[in-house]
Structure 1
Amino acid sequence: MGGLLFYDWNTLPFVILVLVLSFTIHEFAHAYSAYKLGDSTAYQFGRVSLNPMVHLDLFGTIMLLIAGFGWAKPVPVNRGNFKSPRLMGIIVTAAGPISNLILAFISLFVFVLFQKYGWLESMSTGSASAILIFLKLMVSTNLTLFLFNLIPIPPLDGYRIIQDLVDLRYTESLQKFEQWASVIFLLVVFVRPLRQVTLDPYLGLGNNIIELFAKPIAFILGM
């Protein structure tokens, strides 16, 4: 902890850089996929952009630094502009978490490259340490964002995917679920004992994903 901050002061600059990159790519993936599939709403709001300023939410960023939980601005999507609203809605929603999964894979791949070819050995201790911290945070943060956003509780992406998957007959039941789901969400995130037996073990699956990534990376690099 760094006083009032959730993160340690020594790693805070790296954390901020990683979060800005990860959130920006996540929201851009939503906006870009919606635009390519026929909905220009996000484009009209300037969200089909890699400029972090159009995606970051000030209060969400502050909460992230203080509590370790935050958010970016949601991307506006009008499913009525899609040829297949439910199918394309799922694709647009899934694009965000998938972008984080891809970022984690790329970061792990680069990390292994540095290790395999000993590129860090020719660098100063400070530079080598900074690169390792950044890459490790990119892997862990993006895997966490990938898994976290797939939780089927509003307002997360996982819930939006469920909305598009379930039969329309269950729409009313989902709306009733939304009324108390937000309470469950806050309890799981902020009540430590509850989080330790629910959210933390689930997010721990990121280690299994790293092991899964290791196989294709080793194959590509001939290891």
Structure 2
Amino acid sequence: MDFLDKLLFYPLEQLPFYLIALIIAFTVHEFSHAYFANKFGDPTAKLLGRVTLNPAVHFDFLGIVLLLIAGFGWARPVPINRQNFSNPRRMSIIVAAVGPLSNLLLGILGALIYAVLYQTGIIPPEGITKTDQAVHLFFNIFILLNFFLCLFNLVPLPPLDGYRILENALPPRMSAKIQKFEQWSILIFLLIILLPFFQNYTIKPLYDTAYALSSKILDMFILMTGGYRH
């Protein structure tokens, strides 16, 4: 158990809650990419069975392992042929952006549900029973994780959505220049994973920002529903 605690980024006793939250977050994220790509005229993802909320088709084993041991990771990328879009650049930006947006909306929805349950007394603030404590913990993890995934996916590094947005937003000549750096993306991720120095300037600030955002939104919804958080 001590070995697992040291290996995992998340506390072992909280791991089931993180896994459930990740399944929901990654599934909705990738489904959003696939759904909008299909809506915009590219059937590639649909033909491969990716326009679905079935988690099994969206999971990438390496991405999940890295998320559990390093604090970040990814799902299986949705294949997209931008040439099928009537406006490849604009529609590619939208398809890339809906992934992080879906995580933002999931985080907000989770905060709203938590606030309503909290204020109606369905989950008491004291967390009297283990079930109450588990519900509190799950919602806090779910909200924080979705906000983190939203921010992380907006980082402009390949193969993240932020890079795809930047790649399609830049003029073609500049876009071609940054595409040359795609070959170094795995090395960059390995540096972030293996060296705490890089984590302090990448993963940690994103988590801190996600935590601050989740706390403020939770407090706002709880105040809107007639109370305050203990």
- The reply to whether residue 62 of structure 1 matches residue 62 of structure 2 is no
- The reply to whether residue 171 of structure 1 matches residue 175 of structure 2 is yes
Residue 27 of structure 1 aligns with which residue? 30
- Structure 1 pair 81/195, CA: closer, same or farther in 2 (3 Å)? same
State the alpha-carbon separation in 1 of the partners of residues 83 and 10 from structure 2: 41
Equivalent runs, 1:135-154 vs 2, <5 Å: 135-154=139-158
Residue 89 of structure 1 aligns with which residue? 92
CA-CA distance at 1:15 after TM superposition: 1.1
Equivalent runs, 1:70-219 vs 2, <5 Å: 70-121=73-124, 125-210=129-214, 213-214=217-218, 217=221
CA-CA distance at 1:219 after TM superposition: 7.3
- The answer for unaligned runs of 5 or more in structure 2 is none
Does the aligned pair in 2 maintain the 1:153–1:185 contact within 8 Å?
Answer: no
CA-CA distance at 1:180 after TM superposition: 3.5
Normalised by the size of structure 1, how large is the TM-score?
0.89
State the alpha-carbon separation in 2 of the partners of residues 181 and 18 from structure 1: 26
The answer to which of 50-59 and 118-127 deviates more is 118-127
Matched pairs, number: 223
Does the aligned pair in 2 maintain the 1:189–1:199 contact within 8 Å?
Answer: no
The answer to which of 64-73 and 115-124 deviates more is 115-124
Question: RMSD between aligned alpha carbons?
Answer: 2.3
- Structure 1 pair 172/33, CA: closer, same or farther in 2 (3 Å)? closer
CA-CA distance at 1:45 after TM superposition: 0.3
Q: Percent identity?
A: 42
State the alpha-carbon separation in 2 of the partners of residues 40 and 198 from structure 1: 35
Does the aligned pair in 2 maintain the 1:35–1:41 contact within 8 Å?
Answer: yes
State the alpha-carbon separation in 2 of the partners of residues 103 and 176 from structure 1: 34
Q: Which among 4, 17, 20 is matched to residue 20 of structure 2?
A: 17
- Structure 1 pair 80/220, CA: closer, same or farther in 2 (3 Å)? farther
- Structure 1 pair 7/118, CA: closer, same or farther in 2 (3 Å)? same
The answer to which of 54-63 and 96-105 deviates more is 54-63
**Structure showing greater relative contact order (alpha-carbon pairs closer than 8 Å, 6 or more residues apart):** 2
- The answer for unaligned runs of 5 or more in structure 1 is none
Could you report, residue by residue, the CA deviation over 1:87-119 in whole angstroms, capped at 9, with x for unpaired residues?
110110011100000000011111111221211
Residue 56 of structure 2 aligns with which residue? 53
SS at match of 1:34: helix
CA-CA distance at 1:220 after TM superposition: 5.2
